[in-house]
């Protein structure tokens, strides 16, 4: 795919083969941002795991101390008091059968789905719509819970999900180009700490094999896996 002039110019602004410390990579990615909107800065990890094995799937959530900078839209499957708590916490869509009908009709204007355990059989019927988009609630990510008000507040406040793809890659947003460097560094450290915590005991060899930082439309800046959070 042909790259635009801004992307090509950005490639000339740093050494693509050099392995940088995490902070330096973030600084370079911010400096290279040439877009007329506030790009997201993302970090990508190639982990030494085999996602085909259930015990090596790395999945969970991490609370970004500086927030993600993104407005997160949330759909909650709940009734009664739980539904009222979700609405009070700021969830955009709250319901049960009525919400399921909207989703079956093609409404997918949300980023996170949360459900109380008793409504998971209903949500399960929506697997074909929610699954491919990574929107299916899961206890491992705290999106199947009776405390939906707390869950909504956490995701609104900067909690994000992560999971390995079929190649062992994990992509996590760190914030926006407009964030202060210290804020982005704090988020990166939180992500690195979380991935180390989530390391499968069955994973062998080097765990963090490749790390790259980039903006939404910018080139990847390589990071030394031994200096990710420095």
Which domains does the chain show, CATH number per domain?
Answer: 14-68+159-227 (3.30.190.20), 74-156 (3.40.50.790)
Q: What is the mean pLDDT of the chain?
A: 93
**Residue labelled with tokens 């997201």:** 40
pLDDT at 8: 67
CA distance 194 to 202: 17
pLDDT band at 16 (very low <50, low <70, confident <90, very high): confident
Q: Read off the pTM.
A: 0.84
Residues 15 and 226 sit within 8 Å (Cβ to Cβ): no
Highest mean pLDDT among 52-56, 114-118, 199-203: 114-118
Q: Quote the strand ranges of 98-153, DSSP E.
A: 112-115
pLDDT at 86: 98
Q: What average pLDDT does this structure show over 107-119?
A: 97
pLDDT at 1: 42
Reference 87, options 97, 77, 102; nearest CA is 77
CA distance 168 to 49: 6
pLDDT band at 39 (very low <50, low <70, confident <90, very high): very high
Please determine, for residue 28, whether its predicted confidence score (pLDDT) is greater than 80: yes
Task: List the helix and strand counts (H, then E) for the chain.
Answer: 8, 9
């Amino acid at each position: 795919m042909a790259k635009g002039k801004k992307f090509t110019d950005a490639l000339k602004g740093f050494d693509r083969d050099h392995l940088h410390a995490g902070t330096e990579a973030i600084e370079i990615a911010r400096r290279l941002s040439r877009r007329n909107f506030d790009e997201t800065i993302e970090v990508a990890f190639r982990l030494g795991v085999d996602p085909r094995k259930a015990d090596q799937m790395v999945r969970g959530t991490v609370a970004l101390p500086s927030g993600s900078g993104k407005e997160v839209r949330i759909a909650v499957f709940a009734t009664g008091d739980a539904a009222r708590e979700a609405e009070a916490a700021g969830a955009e869509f709250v319901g049960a059968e009525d919400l399921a009908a909207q989703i079956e009709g093609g409404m997918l204007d949300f980023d996170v789905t949360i459900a109380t355990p008793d409504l998971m059989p209903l949500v399960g019927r929506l697997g074909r719509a929610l699954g491919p988009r990574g929107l299916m609630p899961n206890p491992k990510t705290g999106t199947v819970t009776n405390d939906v008000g707390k869950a909504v507040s956490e995701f609104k406040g900067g909690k994000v999900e992560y999971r390995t793809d079929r190649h062992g890659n994990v992509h996590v947003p760190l914030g926006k180009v407009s964030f202060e460097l210290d804020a982005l560094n704090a988020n990166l450290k939180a992500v690195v700490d979380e991935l180390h915590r989530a390391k499968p005991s069955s994973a062998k060899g080097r765990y963090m094999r490749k790390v790259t930082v980039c903006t939404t439309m910018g080139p990847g800046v390589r990071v030394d896996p031994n200096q990710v959070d420095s």
